Each structure stands twice: as structure tokens, then as C-alpha cells.
Structure 1
Amino acid sequence: MLPGIGPQEMVIIGILGVLLFGKRLPEVGRSLGKGIAEFRRSISGVEDELRSINRQVTSTANSATRPYTPANAAPAVTNDLSPDPAVPKFEPPTAAPSPRGETASDFDPQPYYD
């Protein structure tokens, strides 16, 4: 039953129901019962949906914790550092003489005044 409502309170509620609704009391009781049943069905639907989501999250979490084993594994990488005969060997450029024979020490920097 409802917590905090004793038999005396139930009798008073029944008398008030008869006084207020009279002949319509069975109709009001029926519609109240239908409303309660609909509410319970909707609560049950929400609970079922939450259970379904919980199962999906659990299965996703379980699949995420399993080690990854690829079906088509990539070939192993080798550290073959032997020179490739098709690639030309790098040779650093030789220093070419300056075209005018001037060096940086030949210039006397002058201050610039505006």
C-alpha cells in the first residue's frame, strides 16, 4: 500500500470520493486504473531501453579491452641500411672562387644617416 496512509485515512478518502464523484465513481476509478497501467508500461519501456544501452556499452567496453589481432598483418619492417645501387652517391659541392675576387673584409661598412 501507500506508506504513511492507514485504514482511517483510506476510509476518509473513500467517503470523499463518493461525495465528490457519486455515480461517476466507477468511471473515474477505471480511468485512474488505466492511467496507472499506462504509466507502468512507459516506465517498463524506459527500463528496457536502459538495459539495452547498458548491454551495448558493456559489449563495446569488452571488445575495446581485448587485444587487437589484425587479420591481414603488414609485413615486418627491416632495417636494411645497405646502399641502393640505383641511388647516386651524394658528393658535396666544391668551393668555387668568388667571381670578382672580393671578400667580406674588403668592404668598409659606413654608417647610414637618414
Structure 2
Amino acid sequence: MFGLGPFEMMVIGVVAVVLFGANLPEVARQAGGMYREFRGRLNEVQREFRAAEYEATKAFNMDSNTNSSTDEDDDEPSEPSAPKFTPPS
């Protein structure tokens, strides 16, 4: 986890107990609440970006469809003009 070995995790745990002592459960609960709130707001921002992306894609596709109907008089053929390959007998 995070590239930390068991010894480093143990040192972090000892430092946390020394710093917070009896308040460690309350500190962990507050940290969990802040993390939950952060994830909720991050999900909300992601939803907004996805909605904006969907609207932009929808508008782009509508523009592409209207432009393609007016460009039918192009000189380029819709199928390739090269002859089909026939293997020698």
C-alpha cells in the first residue's frame, strides 16, 4: 500500500498513537468523514464533466449529421475504385 513496507506502516502507527493517544478514534472518524465528503464532491464534479461531455458530443454529432447531408455532391466516390483482386488460376 503506497509503496510502504510493514516496518514503515508500524512506525507510522506508533507515531499516530504517540501524537493522538486517546483521541485516535475521534481523529480517525473525522478523517473518514472528510474523506467521504471529498469523494462525494469529486463524484459530483465528475458527473458535471460527463454531462458537459455528453452535451458537447451530442451537439457535435448533430452538426456532423447536418453537414454530411449537404456534402453529397463531392467528387470523391463513396466506394474504392480499384479493381478487385482475382487470384491466378
Common topology (TM > 0.5)? yes
**Gaps (5+ residues) in structure 2?**
70-89
Alignment of 1:13-92 (within 5 A): 13-67=12-66
Structure 1: how far apart are the matches of 2:66 and 2:38?
45
Instruction: Supply the AA of the counterpart residue of 1:67.
Output: T
Give the number of the structure whose residues are more often helix, by fraction.
Answer: 2
Identical amino acids, percent of aligned pairs: 38
**1:67 Cα deviation from its structure 2 partner:** 2.5
TM-score (normalised: structure 2): 0.70
Q: Secondary structure at the match of 1:20?
A: helix
- What 5-or-longer segments of structure 1 have no aligned partner? 70-114
The structure showing larger relative contact order (alpha-carbon pairs under 8 Å, at least 6 residues apart) is 2
Let me know the Cα RMSD of the aligned residues. 1.5
Aligned length: 68
Q: Structure 1: how far apart are the matches of 2:43 and 2:31?
A: 18
Aligned residue identity for 1:25: L
* Corresponding residue number in structure 2 for 1:84: none
How far apart in 2 are the matches of 1:46 and 1:23?
A: 36
Q: Give 4+ residue runs of structure 1 displaced > 3 Å after superposition.
A: none
CA offsets 1:62-98 (integer angstroms, 9 cap, x no match) = 11112278xxxxxxxxxxxxxxxxxxxxxxxxxxxxx
Q: Matches of 1:14 and 1:67 in 2, distance apart?
A: 63
**Rg larger in 1 or in 2?**
1
1:85 aligns to what? none
